[in-house]
Amino acid sequence: MKNLFSAIFAAALLVNVAFAQVKWSVDPAHTNVLFSVNHLGISMVDGQFKKLEGAVETKSAEDFSGATVGFTIDVNSIDTRIEARDGHLKSDDFFNAEKFPTITFKNAVLKKAGKSKYTLTGDLTIRDVTKKVTFDVVQNNGIITDPWGKTRGGFTAKTTINRLDFNIKYNDKLPTGVAAVAADVEIVVNTELVKN
């Protein structure tokens, strides 16, 4: 009977290990969300969001395939290096930061797409619109132990969205018909994850 209980306990322990989740936190000091958009049809204007938080859960500490990902971005932290432009971007022409102070990326799952490559698909919410968005992701140089003994992984994720799909409605045009601010916005997320 003792052997039976031992076997049951060992099996339960194996099941718990099999379904254990490894939690990772986004290191905000080494993570940024960058964006760029065409201006007047002749140049690119870029900026970033300086405040964000995020978390990742993986099935093991060595493999990110199947990981779940979530991010929250503080819209009021937008920075394009021009205060007046930042103010305009916070207005209802763009993000309406007063009414919609956060951008979220939820229910996202990382899927293997090659050596050190993944796709990340989840629900992106900007203003009052939520749409499925897919990022192309590269894992940068595997998983390391930093000089302070912490386990880290680094990733770069890229996508392009149409801002008009998210009710970012500013749509002035030049007399030639060229958009003052293009609809397509390129997004790059660089992140370091730290194992909890």
Task: Provide mean pLDDT across the span 105-109.
Answer: 97
Q: What are 132-162's pLDDT values in tens digits? A: 999 999 999 999 999 999 999 999 999 999 9
- Structural domains of the chain ordered from first start: 21-195 (2.40.128.110)
Residue 1 confidence class, pLDDT cut points 50, 70, 90: low
Element (H, E) at 121: strand 117-126
What pLDDT sits at residue 19? Answer: 52
Cα distance between residue 80 and residue 86, in whole Å: 6
Alpha-carbon Rg for the chain in angstroms: 21
Residue 18 confidence class, pLDDT cut points 50, 70, 90: very low
Residue 5 confidence class, pLDDT cut points 50, 70, 90: very low
In the block, tokens 């031992």 appear at 6
What pLDDT sits at residue 10? Answer: 46
| Span of 11-25, 48-62, 87-101, 105-119 with lowest mean pLDDT | 11-25
The pLDDT of residue 13 is above 50? no
What pLDDT sits at residue 21? Answer: 92
pTM of the prediction?
0.87
What pLDDT sits at residue 3? Answer: 56
Q: Which amino acid is at 147?
A: P
Per-residue b or e along 20-50, where b marks 16 or more CB atoms closer than 10 Å to that residue's CB: eebebebeeeebebebbbbeeeeeebebbbe
Residue 11 confidence class, pLDDT cut points 50, 70, 90: very low
What pLDDT sits at residue 17? Answer: 44
Could you tell me which residues come within 8 angstroms of residue 102 by beta carbon, excluding any fewer than 6 positions away?
72, 73, 74, 75
Could you give the maximum distance between any two Cα atoms of the chain, in Å?
87
The pLDDT of residue 15 is above 60? no
Q: What are 158-183's pLDDT values in tens digits? A: 999 999 999 999 999 999 999 999 99
Are 69 and 56 within 8 A, CB to CB? yes
- Across the chain, mean pLDDT equals 92
